[in-house]
Amino acid sequence: MNVLNLVSNANARFFEEQTRALERRGVACETSTPPGDHLAREDVTERSVGDYLRFVPQVARESLAGYDLVHANYGLTAPMALAQVRLPVVVSLWGSDLFGRYGWLSRLCARYCDAVIVMSEDMARALDRPCHVIPHGVDLEKFAPRPKDAARAELGWDPDARHVLFPYPPSHEVKNHPRARRVVERAGDRIAADATLQVVYGVAHAEVATYMNAADALLLTSDHEGSPNAVKEAMACNLPVVSTDVGDVRERLAGVSPATVSDRDDELVDGLADVLADPRPSDGREAVRDISLQRMGERIEGVYESVV
């Protein structure tokens, strides 16, 4: 099967992993991006409307090169996929393209696509049309538990402090970094050790697992999400997660301990203080075995076969 992938940010880590998972299954994937530069911030792009309009004839030309279908990854690329009329169209919505400022466009285009993939049941409910719920997969070989002391020594972290991982740039407003800092400060007041918010971003993906194994908890304070990879990767490392009730986080963490999911600051503080006062691993790894990269590739390929 030959697939033309349209994507606004070809360097998005989960898109690269999706492509590799499909190629391992024998799916030939070609990637095309709109003219102009992508700015990796939520709902912000350096591209103009004109850049996306110039992408329309480009996609029309490329669609003639023997592909079986067009896969629009992220809602902003869906209009270009639909503009060519020869091939079936699959669209994957990632979260901010449904809940952000361009959500109206994603909803409109989803009506005309041959299949729609979303990351969570919450997104499926918001979209309110038939779709496939296929969250981004986790590399269970890369993200696996390892000794905390060794990971901290590698990073140069204080072995006696409590470390809370926040794996997002503070500039991403939707991630709500100020709220994360408040929660850590309040939780730190309740324990007998120093509590540090470790804001980590821009590091190689291969290094993220080291940070997760060095931390005592992952803190997610986002205003909205689809299916946050950081939560699933933390679970694969048995790192306790404290999170707002966004996307599929509550579903993913159901039955996992220790874990806290709440929209109330007091409950987030309680949950974080608990794991910082008594640091211990979670049992999250077993809960994410069904969303490995291999399983994700199988399911997406199944969607392709259904439209072709």
Q: What is the mean pLDDT of each run of 10 residues along the chain (308 residues)?
A: 95 89 96 79 64 93 96 96 96 91 94 95 89 92 96 97 96 94 97 96 90 98 90 97 94 95 97 97 92 92 97
Which pLDDT score, from 0 to 100, does residue 44 have?
Answer: 47
For residues 245 and 239, the answer to whether their CB atoms sit within 8 Å is no
CATH architecture of the domain 148-290 equals: 3-Layer(aba) Sandwich (3.40)
Q: Domain segments of the chain: what residues?
A: 2-137+292-307, 148-290
**CATH topology classification for 2-137+292-307:** Rossmann fold (3.40.50)
Which pLDDT score, from 0 to 100, does residue 112 have?
Answer: 97
Which pLDDT score, from 0 to 100, does residue 6 have?
Answer: 98
Which pLDDT score, from 0 to 100, does residue 292 have?
Answer: 87
Say if 2-137+292-307 and 148-290 have the same CATH topology.
Answer: yes
Which pLDDT score, from 0 to 100, does residue 191 have?
Answer: 96
Which pLDDT score, from 0 to 100, does residue 213 have?
Answer: 98
Which pLDDT score, from 0 to 100, does residue 49 have?
Answer: 85
